[in-house]
Structure 1
Amino acid sequence: MRLYHFLNTEYGLLNIRNRRLKIARINELNDPFEFLGAATKHPAVRRRYQALKDGLNDHMGLVCFSANWNNPVQWGHYADRHRGLCLGFDVHAQAHKVSYVEERLLARPSALKSEGPVAQAHVTEILTTKFEHWSYENEYRLFPQLQHQDPSGHFFLDFNDQVVLREVIVGHHSTISRDDIAEALGPLAPKVASYKARLAFRSFNVVRQKNDRLWEKRL
């Protein structure tokens, strides 16, 4: 499955050079409803779901992808206002598709007390449900374990045979040159398509710039 990950210039080039993606921590996500989507007026039940979220945060994180790269809102929000880039991966690991809903989920605290398929299904539902206004992201998620902490304090998912870099798309307003991308890719360059994006002429989409002369080499 081809999936896409948006980044600003600094971290985009750094991740290409280091062959890895940063794993997001569950308790640091930009949506405060993440993993707390169940509706309940009972404080004890809310505490149970918060405890679930905190417990998951201790041993796993997530890496977020989109099913496409053409949405200008995503470039605006996650790629530094079209000045960053987008990485396209062939993802062979189990990627969980996010569901977007209008109403919060039915709380099922009894499922959290048990083990087996029912409990697992409810936890997966919690992990992959967001408010419908986030639907423009068309999101898929990987949930890697937190195993090797970087000296910076972060965790990373290495590029591997389950997450294979195939595309580097440079934003419409980006000053990243072809030489910058080639240097970051190094030996990967022959296996990775790299190109500049532009704004579509007849729709609100971002599309590929087919005129290579409009993507300059480094001055």
Structure 2
Amino acid sequence: MRVYKYYPANWGRQAILKQRLKVTTEADINDPFEFRASCTKDRSLRFSLDKWRKEFLSNYGLISFCKNRKNPVIWSHYADSYRGICLGFDLDDKYLNAVDYVSERIKISRQEITEKIRRNDHKYLFSKILSPKAKFWNYEDEKRVYVDLNSENIIREDGKFFVPFGSDYVLREIILGPHYEPIDDVAHKEEMKSAMSRLKRCSVKTARLAFQTFDVAFQNDKRHHKSL
């Protein structure tokens, strides 16, 4: 499946130059309700759920992608008000987990959750804890990958975690936002040229505002194409 990752311009350029994706960990999560969609009046059960959440996030991070490259709200929120970059990746569907957008928190019982966590029932945990997210986020149309932070493929740098581009994360598109400003620097252009030479079948496209809809579209007029 083709999925998209949005960045402010500098972060997008760094991702391309270093050819890696940052993994979101507990410290980076921007939604305090993340993995807290389930609810109960049982105080001790809430404590148990928070304990499970912390244990999970100490071993796993996530990479969030979007199915939509046209949504103006995402370009505004995640790509620095259209000044950023959108990267299109081809991923195997088996790695991608859908987010279930819900209007109400999911009620659970002690007996139900305790047994499922003890048995490490992945199907249940995904449906009740990992997948649900408040419906207010549904504009993101999110697909996510859960990443084992202890994997040998993980790159660690300054307390952050990254996964490399490669067979699992194949970069196919680099889309420059409608308000993207290229860096006019010879050394930077040479770095980008070198990075692009290591990518196979990856295109660079320029985006513009659509003329008849609220979408972000591709710029087909070559006179207005931009470079990294």
| Number of aligned positions between the proteins | 217
Query: With structure 1 as the length reference, what TM-score do the two structures score?
Result: 0.91
2:220 maps to which of 207, 210, 214: 210
- Secondary structure of the residue that 1:35 maps to in structure 2? coil
Instruction: Kindly indicate whether residue 22 of structure 2 is the aligned counterpart of residue 22 of structure 1.
Output: yes
Instruction: Kindly indicate whether residue 130 of structure 2 is the aligned counterpart of residue 127 of structure 1.
Output: yes
- Secondary structure of the residue that 1:6 maps to in structure 2? strand
Q: How much identity, in percent, do the aligned residues show?
A: 32
The residue aligned with 2:53 is 53
Pairs within 5 Å for 1:10-89: 10-89=10-89
Note the C-alpha offset of 1:182: 4.9
Alpha carbons of structure 1 residues 20 and 100: separation in structure 2 relative to 1, 3 Å: same
1:175 maps to which of 181, 185, 204: 181
The residue aligned with 1:137 is 140
The residue aligned with 1:113 is 115
Note the C-alpha offset of 1:11: 1.1
1:191 maps to which of 201, 204, 209: 201
Alpha carbons of structure 1 residues 94 and 217: separation in structure 2 relative to 1, 3 Å: closer
- Secondary structure of the residue that 1:69 maps to in structure 2? coil
AA partner of residue 140 (structure 2):
E
Pairs within 5 Å for 1:94-113: 94-109=95-110, 110-113=112-115
AA partner of residue 13 (structure 2):
L
1:154 maps to which of 148, 155, 160: 160
Checking the alignment, whether the CA contact within 8 Å between 2:171 and 2:199 is kept in structure 1 is no
Distance in structure 2 (CA, Å) of the matches to 1:176 and 1:189: 20
Instruction: Kindly indicate whether residue 206 of structure 2 is the aligned counterpart of residue 200 of structure 1.
Output: no
Alpha carbons of structure 1 residues 122 and 2: separation in structure 2 relative to 1, 3 Å: same
Alpha carbons of structure 1 residues 120 and 65: separation in structure 2 relative to 1, 3 Å: same
Distance in structure 2 (CA, Å) of the matches to 1:188 and 1:54: 38
Q: Describe the superposition over 1:17-51 as per-residue Cα deviations: whole angstroms up to 9, x where unpaired.
A: 11110000135311110001112122111111111
In the alignment, structure 2 segments of 5+ residues that lack a partner are none
The residue aligned with 2:9 is 9
Checking the alignment, whether the CA contact within 8 Å between 1:37 and 1:130 is kept in structure 2 is yes
Distance in structure 2 (CA, Å) of the matches to 1:108 and 1:23: 32
Alpha carbons of structure 1 residues 217 and 98: separation in structure 2 relative to 1, 3 Å: closer
Checking the alignment, whether the CA contact within 8 Å between 1:177 and 1:216 is kept in structure 2 is no
Checking the alignment, whether the CA contact within 8 Å between 1:72 and 1:204 is kept in structure 2 is yes
